[in-house]
Structure 1
Amino acid sequence: MDDKIAGKEAEPVAREPTKSDNLTEMLIEAIISGELLSGSKISEPELSRRYKVSRGPLREAMMRIETLGLIERSPHIGARVITLSETQLKEIYSVREALEVMAVRQACQHITSEELHSLKKLLTTHQQHIVDAKGASYFLQSGDFDFHYCVIKASRNQKLVSLLCDELYHLIRMYRTQFSRLRSSPKSALKEHFQIFDALCERDEDLAEMLMRRHIRRSQHLAQEFLVKNKECH
């Protein structure tokens, strides 16, 4: 009997990751980490050899990455990794600030005790990484290992989740990751995350908004500082 006729929805069938899916993730990480340099021309034959894939899955992966804004195409030049620029940085961070401030306010209303417990464990993991790295770096990971990602998810606002965790997420990660070397004190970033966490525990929307806004502006300032110094060097 058809499930819908029986009055119940069919269970969605989980799709196995394809070669193109896996390649997409590898290329995203290569761009975000700087392995594929900002502004560098993309050679399909070279990438095919490097990742041992045919041109079909590679082109499919490239199209997906282009929709994320990590690759740009121009006539007579072809595909390039996007160039990190001060103009784009300001645009991305202004949108990020507005949306993440909204997300943290809504997370104050909706975050569960279980999510707060998981967030505390996550920050403890980040703290241990800083100790192990002797204060040289912050723990920069994606998805459920990313403090900001978890806060956004806790907002329960699917439009915010879509905008920040799908459309803008990888661009934001690219700036955060490649400018993380400027973070003179990862302990300061961790302290700010713990302060935001405490505000979430208290359900204090105004305090959480103020702390998140200040935290993102500090991150933007460091990124702009890097761009200016990099421009001076060239």
Structure 2
Amino acid sequence: MNIAMQPKIKATSKENTKSENLTEYLIDAIVEGDIAPGSKISEPELAKRFEVSRGPLREAIMRVEGLGLIERIPHIGARVISFSTEHLLELYSVREALEGMAARLAARHITAEEIRSLEAVLSTHSEHIDQVEGASYFHQHGDFDFHYQIIKASRNKKLVSLLCDELYHLLRMYRYQSPRSHSRPEEALDEHKYILQAITNRDEELAEMLMRRHISGSRRLIEQQLDNEQGEEK
């Protein structure tokens, strides 16, 4: 496991325990590729580097494992997951169904303030695309992520748990570590605008349809890229 980079752990406060800070560090390091896919998680190495006991460390590892970023392999131990084609396409199929539902519910429950926030997010994304001349989409995370905000606006706790906790960081990991050729910035931005317009208009059926179509388009692009890569290897 390569952890030679500077720790990103924030100073411990009343609200943040060592375990929570370690969890945040591990998530970011895995998502951004600082700890590479397939790497073994060395508890002694992490405990020594961050001067923490095994208790908080194991608690952090269990939390990250619960997010699907770490897997335990018999006789080997904890390792960072590696994306397989099957795993990736399954992730997008689940997203298509669940985020379509989230968009439908968001159209029913979203507030004016949340709509303004989504408009601001898309404005920022548009500016970035202009700055890089359409070379990439500007993916932020958490409350600054377009999809994340829509899921939160659904007001469905189970959807929020599944999409913002269990699946969200897997998607972030793929975004960070995938080739730019999987991206379609201007088309994606237009689709986001249409989705937001449907949600703003309280058109539940259209919002769900557009969101499903949007994610399905991303999945097809991934399939095409993977087919091209396999063709080049032959």
What interval of TM-score do these two structures reach, taking the shorter chain for normalisation? 0.7 to 0.9
1:220 match: 219
1:222 CA displacement: 3.0
2:178 match: 179
2:192 match: 193
- Residues 118-169 of structure 1 show CA distances to partners (whole Å, capped at 9, x for unaligned) of 1101111111222233322222222101100100111111121122112222
Amino acid at match of 1:83: S
Amino acid at match of 1:60: E
Q: Secondary structure at the match of 1:118?
A: helix
1:46 CA displacement: 3.9
Query: Which stretch has the larger CA shift, 108-117 or 133-142?
Result: 133-142
Please give the alpha-carbon distance, in whole angstroms, between the structure 2 residues aligned to 1:117 and 1:133: 25
Amino acid at match of 2:68: G
Q: Secondary structure at the match of 2:79?
A: strand
TM-score normalised per structure 2? 0.84
Residues 222 and 40 of structure 1: CA distance in aligned 2, closer, same or farther (over 3 Å): farther
2:123 match: 124
Please give the alpha-carbon distance, in whole angstroms, between the structure 2 residues aligned to 1:115 and 1:215: 21
Whether the 8 Å contact between 1:20 and 1:60 is mirrored in structure 2 is yes
Amino acid at match of 2:83: L
Paired residues, number: 220
1:75 match: 74
Please give the alpha-carbon distance, in whole angstroms, between the structure 1 residues aligned to 2:202 and 2:120: 19
Please give the alpha-carbon distance, in whole angstroms, between the structure 1 residues aligned to 2:197 and 2:110: 12
Give 1:53's match in structure 2, choosing from 24, 31, 51. 51
1:39 CA displacement: 1.9
RMSD: 2.3
Bigger Rg, which one = 1
2:6 match: none
Please give the alpha-carbon distance, in whole angstroms, between the structure 2 residues aligned to 1:132 and 1:53: 42
Whether the 8 Å contact between 1:89 and 1:224 is mirrored in structure 2 is no
Q: Secondary structure at the match of 2:78?
A: strand
Identity %: 61
Residues 127 and 34 of structure 1: CA distance in aligned 2, closer, same or farther (over 3 Å): same
Whether the 8 Å contact between 2:41 and 2:80 is mirrored in structure 1 is yes
Give the alignment of 1:145-156 within 5 angstroms: 145-156=144-155
1:180 CA displacement: 5.7
Please give the alpha-carbon distance, in whole angstroms, between the structure 2 residues aligned to 1:46 and 1:18: 20
Structure 2 unmatched runs, 5+: 1-12
Whether the 8 Å contact between 2:137 and 2:183 is mirrored in structure 1 is no
Q: Secondary structure at the match of 1:198?
A: helix
Structure 1 unmatched runs, 5+: 1-13
Please give the alpha-carbon distance, in whole angstroms, between the structure 1 residues aligned to 2:70 and 2:207: 34
1:228 CA displacement: 4.5
Please give the alpha-carbon distance, in whole angstroms, between the structure 2 residues aligned to 1:224 and 1:139: 22
Please give the alpha-carbon distance, in whole angstroms, between the structure 2 residues aligned to 1:193 and 1:61: 34
1:96 match: 95
Amino acid at match of 1:127: S
Residues 109 and 227 of structure 1: CA distance in aligned 2, closer, same or farther (over 3 Å): same
1:194 CA displacement: 0.9
Residues 48 and 123 of structure 1: CA distance in aligned 2, closer, same or farther (over 3 Å): same
Please give the alpha-carbon distance, in whole angstroms, between the structure 2 residues aligned to 1:193 and 1:37: 31
Amino acid at match of 2:50: K
1:11 match: none
Amino acid at match of 1:85: S
Whether the 8 Å contact between 1:93 and 1:220 is mirrored in structure 2 is yes
Q: Secondary structure at the match of 2:68?
A: coil
- Residues 95-121 of structure 1 show CA distances to partners (whole Å, capped at 9, x for unaligned) of 211111111011111111111111101
Please give the alpha-carbon distance, in whole angstroms, between the structure 1 residues aligned to 2:225 and 2:40: 22
